[in-house]
């Protein structure tokens, strides 16, 4: 049996086979399943930074924190949670993050807020795809338009104040180009034409 043969014997037979068939090694290498590339060194370092943050602060990073570093860690964690939910999370990340209890579970409120955000985002996408103008947040009798207009206005405010999560900014930029500017202004109020006084007889 080959599985009980000494390693030196197996190596000898493989060397003989390679001499007889020079292309055998290349064929064997081609037949092996390709290994998926693992996380980069930078990504693994980001994971370690997140774990260190949790151990130091006793909490997970916040998306709207004042510190840019904390915002970056929060965005990175958001993407890992998404990967986990989709079943595409790298085992290296899962093993490393398992030291943080419930790292992949957002709070119920955050889950509801995220679901609402995604719903409004999709509704505005559908509206624009149908050829409609940007929804207004005021001066419209349409309640549905006002709801979407208020949501979009809120995204612009968050962006201008530096509070919009980077991954959401990417989604808006990619799928709703021009979202920051909104409707084109027509140049202000139209002046009423002056009424001409009737000529005196």
Report pLDDT digits (tens) over 144-157: 999 999 999 999 99
- 127 shares a domain with 86: no
- 80 shares a domain with 116: no
Terminal-to-terminal C-alpha distance of the chain? 126
Residue 130 lies in a domain: yes
Mean of pLDDT values over 150-169: 93
- Domain, as residue range, for 64: 41-97
pLDDT for the residue numbered 66: 85
pLDDT for the residue numbered 153: 96
Measure CA 1 to chain center: 52
What gap in Å lies between CA 143 and CA 149, rounded to an integer? Answer: 10
What gap in Å lies between CA 79 and CA 29, rounded to an integer? Answer: 34
Last residue of a domain, one of 76, 97, 118: 97
User: Does residue 36 have a pLDDT over 90?
Assistant: no
**47 neighbors 97 (Cβ within 8 angstroms):** yes
**150 neighbors 124 (Cβ within 8 angstroms):** no
pLDDT for the residue numbered 96: 94
pLDDT > 70 fraction of the chain, expressed in percent and rounded: 74
What gap in Å lies between CA 31 and CA 167, rounded to an integer? Answer: 39
Dmax over CA atoms of the chain, in Å, equals 126
- pTM (two decimals): 0.47
Residue 188 lies in a domain: no
- 90 shares a domain with 69: yes
What is the tens place of the pLDDT at every residue in 97-120?
Answer: 999 998 988 767 777 888 899 999
pLDDT for the residue numbered 31: 58
User: What's the total number of domains in the chain?
Assistant: 2
pLDDT > 90 fraction of the chain, expressed in percent and rounded: 53
Residue 52 lies in a domain: yes
Residue 61 lies in a domain: yes
Mean of pLDDT values over 23-42: 67
Q: What is the mean pLDDT of the chain?
A: 82
pLDDT for the residue numbered 201: 44
pLDDT for the residue numbered 30: 60
Residue 181 lies in a domain: no
């Amino acid at each position: 049996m080959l599985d009980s043969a000494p390693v030196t014997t197996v190596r000898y037979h493989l060397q003989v086979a390679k001499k007889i068939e020079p292309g055998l090694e290349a064929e064997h290498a081609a037949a092996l399943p390709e290994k998926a590339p693992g996380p980069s060194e930078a990504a693994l370092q980001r994971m370690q930074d997140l774990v260190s943050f949790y151990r130091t602060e006793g909490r997970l990073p916040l998306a709207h924190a004042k510190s840019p570093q904390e915002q970056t860690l929060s965005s990175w964690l958001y993407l890992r949670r998404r990967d986990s939910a989709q079943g595409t999370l790298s085992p290296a990340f899962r093993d490393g993050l398992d030291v943080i209890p419930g790292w992949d579970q957002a709070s119920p409120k955050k889950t509801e807020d995220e679901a609402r955000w995604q719903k409004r985002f999709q509704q505005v996408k559908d509206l624009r795809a149908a050829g409609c103008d940007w929804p207004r947040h005021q001066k419209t009798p349409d309640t549905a338009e006002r709801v979407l207009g208020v949501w979009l206005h809120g995204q612009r405010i968050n962006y201008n104040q530096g509070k919009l999560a980077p991954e959401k900014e990417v989604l808006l930029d990619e799928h709703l180009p021009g979202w920051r500017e909104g409707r084109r202004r027509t140049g202000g109020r139209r002046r009423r034409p002056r009424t001409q006084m009737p000529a005196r007889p």
